[in-house]
A and B are shown apart, each in its own frame.
Chain A
Amino acid sequence: MFAVIGLVAISFSAIYSAGINYENSFKYVSMQALALGIGFVGLLLLARFNYQYYKYLDKFIYILSLLLLISVLIFGTVKRGTKGWFDFGFISFQPVEIAKIMFILVFASFLDTKSKEVEKVSFLFFSFVILAIHLILIMMQPDFSSTLSYFPVTLILLFMICVSPFYLFCIVIFGALAIGIPLLSTFINMHLKISPSGAFLTSLVFFLKMNLNWLYIIIAIIFLIMCFWWFLWKLKIRISIIYPLVLCNVIFWGCITSIPLEKSLKDYQKKRLVVFVNPKIDPKGSGYNIIQSKIAIGSGKFMGKGFKKGTQTQLGFLPERHTDFIFSVIGEEGGWVIAQLTLFLYFLFIWRCLIIAKAARDRYGSLVAIGITTMFVFYAVINIGMVMGMMPVTGMPLLLLSYGGSSIFSSLCAIGILLSIHIRRHIY
């Protein structure tokens, strides 16, 4: 796995450079090396271990993951507002990272065994129960970005197992409503504060605020959907009544869940999530990170400013240099050449993962491989998109590159599982 080694090498130089001016780069690098060492031990062990046992141990793994998440809620320490860390003095550990991989193992096993019942609603229901328990436990920490990372993995795995596209569509709508409504309202609020222009938008928002009864709107939308269905029925296009009913239910519950979600999200989090659309509406507050990050990447130009010479990084304009915004450091100091190389290596890695998935001995292995791959892709796209101002600022690390012991450890464990699948592709 040449790509992994390449990525890790870039990661080290970037972390070292990011920390150099703050007299703790040695600490960062050594901690990262320690995590990497432990991670490689984990990788080798997991690669040796036959992944097929996971399938039979699924209940045990699931309970273990729940225990981890519950115990962190009880014994964990608080860091940056999140109660998600076990502190062992010199090293601290975030169990969510491991729990994610455990979830993939369990969920793949569940899908594989129940693959005959794909069309049944109870199947979907159970898969969501598995998901929901995890999510609720993580939201109690609360760790919003980790929660988000569960969705694409679940969706892609359901997609792979041939769940009807309609249900997937429903899930997407549900998620979009639950998250979209609070975010949209924050965004509009922020925009109104900044620019009183846009008469149409303003009046619309005022109208909605005056008649602040979401229930009416929801009922109206549901009514419209029913009418549409009835209209199609009349046109002799026969669609089961179940579809519009489910759709209506999804919309209704989506809106309902948006209310507790809105309450649970802190104001600054909401702002951070939406501000990437136009960071200039709050340049000194929530938009600061994105603006500085874009300047850092952009100012790298073709060849970059040179190792340890990035002004954005070294002078502290760029926040969270060694963790979430590590890619900005790479972009600034290495320029387009290195940044594009990083992207290429990352994709190479993803591609290799997908080949493992395709060549796996059984479907369980394939599903696990795809789940893990999706996790990597999702993190990479959100993180790199975030530092380039395309995605919301969620505080997601760039796996394998960002500084962070737990994340590098869990990434290497995940790779270990992938290798285990890879090694056993020809074995009966």
Chain B
Amino acid sequence: MVWQRENKFVYEVFTKKHKIILVFFLLLFICLSIRLFYLQILNGNDYRIVSEQQRMHNTYERAPRGIIYSANNEILAENKSTYVVLFHPYNKCQSPSIQVIKELSKILDREIKPYTDKSLKYGKYIKLADNLTIEELFKIQEKKLMLEGISVTKVPRRIYHFAKETSHITGYISEIRAEELEDLLGQGYKLGDYIGRGGIEQFYDSYLKGINGGWQIEVNARGYQMKTFKYIAPKTGDSVYSTIDLNLQKIAYNALKDSSTGKGAVVVIDVKTGAVKALVSCPGFNANRAGYKDFSRYLKNKKLPLFNRALQALYPPGSIFKIVIFAAAIDVLGTDSLETTQCTGSFKVGNRHYACWLKSGHGRLNIISAMALSCNVYFYQLGLKLGMKNLEKYTKKFYFGQKTNLDLPNEKSGFIPSPEWKKLKLKMSWLKGDTAIFAIGQGALSVTPLQMAYTMSVIANNGFCHKPYIVSKIVNFDGIEVYKHELKVVNKLELEDKTWLLLHKALLETIENGTGRKCKIDGIKIAGKTGTAQNPPLKDHAWFVSYAPADNPEIALAVIVENGGSGGLNAVPIGRKIYETYFNIRK
């Protein structure tokens, strides 16, 4: 305290300035305190949340899907685990570096696309390669240090043992798409999950998919796992037991494949229960690959392998529709087997001639031989006699134009034209010729193969309708049954007893002496009807619908060979093969 006294003036100036800087420093520290308060007290919660998000990662372990069994407990679809290479973004590195990609490509000997999505968030993974072999897995583990951010994870992979034969029954699985995710909100699907597409995989997806598990882990700034908090074991999906008879399925598939065009469908239904024993759509696809690699190739294929013809394809029924006319004629007109009509090979409606398929004509026919020989002229006449009202009524009565409600997705209902429809859509009035064409199952009338098989099973049952089904029960991982199909008669097709009698007789006659002679098997009475549906400008479709044994029906089937030509020559042999297999008959 010397200079203060020696030089008062200078000291006063000094103290003034001293005060100024004291206040200045104080202000600086107050600023810092305010900022500290702002960060920690006012925004503390937000920052706490961010810091928690940063260190917590959830990894998902996909649950294995349930197993799909055939009727005899053969496995149609199951899981094998495979290994996939994942990259998880860490610290500052959002996408795998070029060296890492190069090294991986070298190890795996396949090209790996570099991933350049900048918007990737923490906690998400990028899949770089899948389906690794064990050797590749070890190679990657060896070079782990060089491959920053790369990890290998076990992932269940779906295996279909009869990938082609049962492809349309099982369907396939593929990764869920972002736009689908919005529709499926709230059902527990996440991006990267697999979802069933087509067949049982799709229809019973909620049972099959199981519940995903996973780890909640703490990671450090480089993305390494530090601590694990909890693990939720994934819950395996429920096993689905289908009613498919694998033998029949294989035979039907191969028979269709070897047919003239290799396109078509077969549906075999157990008459007594409504169980679908075989459901083939040809060509099939490889269910093991459809969801991964070959999807676009299948889409481009002109034979439409992904299209389930048994449920979704609409065909004109052609001559097999004569069954309906036959029943209607006996029911409504009271026609009996004594009445005969002359077939000259052609029939005149208005000023147009409608030809019979046999140009020379069948000669004199009663209703049963007309059915057996599938005479068009006879049925033109019946159709015109019955009139459109009755025809429509009986078409509906035989469940045309209605879904069978089989437990598979995307079933089509078919279509029944009517005078009102024609007026509305085509702005033309319904002519007699339309009725005549309708009577032989041509024109706008369309059905699915499944519908026809169903109709046959109803006929075989004398009108009792069992709801068709393909899944008999679902059992969860612990062996508890969670779903069981209950047999029930959902409907009854009412026809007079005489009608049933004559119908069965006519159908039996068709196989014994008529157009379906190629299906005649010694020892088994088979009833059926062939059809050759015109499909201008392409070749005719070959139809065969049938049930057997005729006196005590067990199975009913519908066969169609798309553009196969004559039904009696092309579709019937396939039906015969199925019967031979079913009844264990050696050729």
Contact = CB atoms under 8 A, between A and B. Distances in A.
A359 B2 CA distance: 9
Contacts of B29: 343, 346-347, 350, 381
A390 interface: yes
B111 interface: no
Contact of A361 (B3, B32, B48, B226): B3
A311 B51 contact: yes
Query: For chain A, what secondary structure do more than half of its interface residues adopt (helix, strand, loop), or is it mixed?
Result: helix
Given A285-B92, A381-B32, A298 B47 contact: yes
B43 interface: yes
A340 B17 CA distance: 28
A311 B54 CA distance: 9
Interface string B23-42: 00110110111011101110
Contact of B47 (A294, A370, A373, A385): A294
A388 B39 contact: yes
A297 B40 contact: yes
A294 B222 CA distance: 19
B54 A317 contact: yes
A347 B13 CA distance: 24
B94 A284 contact: yes
Nearest to B28: A381
B25 A336 contact: no
A296 interface: yes
Contacts of B222: 316
Contacts of B48: 298-299, 301
Contacts, number: 135
Counting chain A CB atoms within 10 Å of each CB, the highest count among B17, B29, B32, B43 belongs to: B32
B21 A426 contact: no
A300 to B, nearest CB: 6
B40 A300 contact: yes
Given A311-B52, A317-B55, A317-B221, A300 B44 contact: yes
B219 interface: yes
Given A385-B32, A426-B1, A339 B40 contact: yes
A147 to B, nearest CB: 21
Given A295-B51, A301-B44, A317-B221, A343 B92 contact: no
Contacts of A362: 2-3
B554 interface: no
Contacts of B299: none
Counting chain B CB atoms within 10 Å of each CB, the highest count among A299, A357, A377, A390 belongs to: A299
Given A354-B18, A361-B3, A426-B1, A339 B36 contact: yes
B91 to A, nearest CB: 8
A301 B37 CA distance: 9
B40 A335 contact: yes
Contacts of A151: none
A366 interface: yes
B133 interface: no
Contacts of B94: 284
Contacts of B17: 159-160, 162
A284 B120 CA distance: 12
A343 B25 CA distance: 12
A351 interface: yes
Contacts of A295: 47, 50-51, 54
B92 A297 contact: no
B489 interface: no
B38 to A, nearest CB: 9
Given A159-B17, A331-B40, A297 B47 contact: yes
Contact of A363 (B14, B36, B39, B43): B14
B39 A294 contact: yes
A288 B92 contact: yes
Interface in A259-298: 284-285, 288, 294-298
A331 to B, nearest CB: 7
Nearest to B13: A162
Contacts of A88: none
B220 interface: yes
Contacts of A301: 40-41, 44-45, 48
A117 to B, nearest CB: 14
B496 interface: no
Contacts of A426: 1
Contacts of A316: 220-222
A132 interface: no
B184 interface: no
B51 A296 contact: yes
A48 interface: no
B360 interface: no
Give the interface residue-count category, chain A.
35 or more
A357 B14 CA distance: 10
Nearest to A346: B29
A385 B48 CA distance: 20
Given A362-B3, A428-B2, A315 B44 contact: no
B350 to A, nearest CB: 74
Contact of A370 (B21, B92, B226): B21
Contact of B25 (A160, A350, A359): A350
A311 B21 contact: no
Interface in B218-255: 218-222, 226
Given A162-B13, A340-B33, A298 B44 contact: yes
Interface string A339-359: 110010011001100100111
A340 B52 CA distance: 23
A384 interface: yes
Nearest to B118: A284
Contacts of A357: 18
B50 A336 contact: no
Given A316-B220, A426-B1, A428-B2, A299 B47 contact: yes
A358 B33 contact: no
A299 B33 contact: no
A168 to B, nearest CB: 12
A35 to B, nearest CB: 26
Nearest to A425: B1
Contacts of B36: 297, 331, 336, 339-340, 343, 388
A156 interface: yes
A312 interface: yes
Contact of B39 (A298, A354, A358, A381): A298
Nearest to A298: B47
A315 B41 CA distance: 23
A301 B35 CA distance: 13
A383 to B, nearest CB: 10
B55 A336 contact: no
Interface in A297-320: 297-302, 311-312, 315-317
A421 to B, nearest CB: 12
A118 to B, nearest CB: 11
A343 B36 CA distance: 10
17 contacts: A297-B47, A299-B50, A301-B45, A311-B54, A311-B55, A311-B218, A316-B222, A317-B51, A317-B54, A317-B221, A339-B36, A340-B37, A362-B2, A362-B3, A381-B32, A385-B32, A390-B35
Given A343-B32, A357-B18, A390-B32, 12 more contacts: A159-B21, A160-B14, A288-B92, A298-B44, A300-B40, A302-B40, A311-B55, A351-B22, A354-B25, A361-B1, A388-B39, A390-B31
Interface of A: 156, 159-160, 162, 284-285, 288, 294-302, 311-312, 315-317, 331, 335-336, 339-340, 343, 346-347, 350-351, 354, 357-359, 361-363, 366, 370, 373-374, 377, 381, 384-385, 388, 390, 425-426, 428
Top 8 nearest A-B pairs (CB, nearest first) are A298-B47, A301-B44, A299-B51, A315-B220, A316-B221, A336-B40, A299-B48, A299-B47
